[in-house]
Amino acid sequence: MPPPEPKNGPLRDWFMLKSAKVNRSNSLSKNNEYCVIIEAGRVESNYWIDLWRYRELFYFLAWRDILVRYKQSVIGVAWAVIRPLLTMLVFTVVFGNLAKMPSENVPYPVLVFAAMLPWQFFSNALSECSNSLITNSNLITKIYFPRLIIPASSVIVCLVDFLVSSTILVLLMYWYQYWPTIKILFLPVFAILAFLAAVGGGLLLAALNVEYRDFRYIVPFIVQIGLYISPVGFSSSVIPQAWRLVYAINPMVGVIDGFRWAIFRESTTLYLPGLTVSATFVLFIFGLGIWYFRRSERQFADVV
């Protein structure tokens, strides 16, 4: 029995589009005597091909989440700017004015906001991914598609917020007449590291949240603690040299230091051993997240 058709929204459009393709395929199969052979394990072997085949669903889910996030809000997408901006103001006052933390000859608001961009993206993606499967439980239990599409589409929504928030950094640099050098070309490399960390951690927590609902309370705690143990409101140069490598186990340390190094025009040196540790840990989390998600994916429809 085919799954019920969604009532409205992007999913209904996607459902109608796939139905039209199926009907067209059926009509062709009648003319050409085409038959479908069901093989054991075929879904597993073609999983990554199915990700490409279901790309339209990925687009619709991402667009739906973008629309729903700011629906019926007074200032809409401006919330993507206000939250990191207010956090930047608090950190500038606390760490810059009261604690007198070193700023490496960089305006302290620029120092903080250069770290807020990757951190805000990472924390939002982690939170959205961890709840994405629970939020879309009705869709998971009705039709087959690679479940990886759901948390991946949540990360894309956070990426849009990241791009919108970047305009504030540009305005801050214009206000302080502080412009980057050619090192800014390396910024996409560290953005990719942040993306991999967010996807890996998000997939791991999404799978765990389906099986153990306690993680809905653990994830906000992880994000809150991570904000203060990551070098967002201060420079990682204040960490004693003997502890820099241990501190770099936090994957966002290397990402944030890389963002600052690419943006700041001063001759700041990038702590390469720490960056190597952070990048290695990011790749480990990314691989672990994909492995555990794929391992648990078969049971999602039964326990979600």
Examine residue 77 and state whether it is found in any structural domain, yes or no: yes
Residue scoring higher pLDDT (284 or 62): 284
In a domain, 35, yes or no: no
Identify whether 42 is part of a domain. no
> What is the mean predicted confidence (pLDDT) over 119-123?
93
Give the Cα separation of 120 and 126 in Å (integer).
10
* DSSP character at residue 9: S
Whole-number Å distance between alpha carbons of 148 and 292: 11
Query: Does a structural domain hold residue 19?
Result: no
Total of domains in the chain = 1
Please report whether residue 15 resides in a domain: no
Distance CA 151, CA 223 (A): 17
Q: Radius of gyration (Cα) for the chain, nearest Å? A: 22
- The model's pLDDT over 35-80, given as tens digits with 9 standing for 90+, comes to 545 454 555 667 788 888 888 888 888 888 888 777 766 666 677 7
Give the integer Cα–Cα distance in Å for 235 and 239: 8
Q: Is residue 40 part of a domain?
A: no
Q: Considering only residues 112 and 3, tell me which one the structure prediction assigns the higher pLDDT.
A: 112
Q: What is the pLDDT of residue 267?
A: 61
Q: What is the DSSP string of 243-267?
A: GHHHHTTSHHHHHHHHHHHHH--S-
Residue 2 included in any domain = no
This prediction's pTM: 0.80
Percentage of the chain modeled with pLDDT above 70: 82
Q: What is the pLDDT of residue 286?
A: 95
Spatial separation of the C-alpha atoms in residues 174 and 170, rounded to whole Å: 6
Give the domain extent around 123: 53-303
Please, what sign has the CA dihedral across residues 130, 134, 135, 141? positive
32 belongs to a structural domain? no
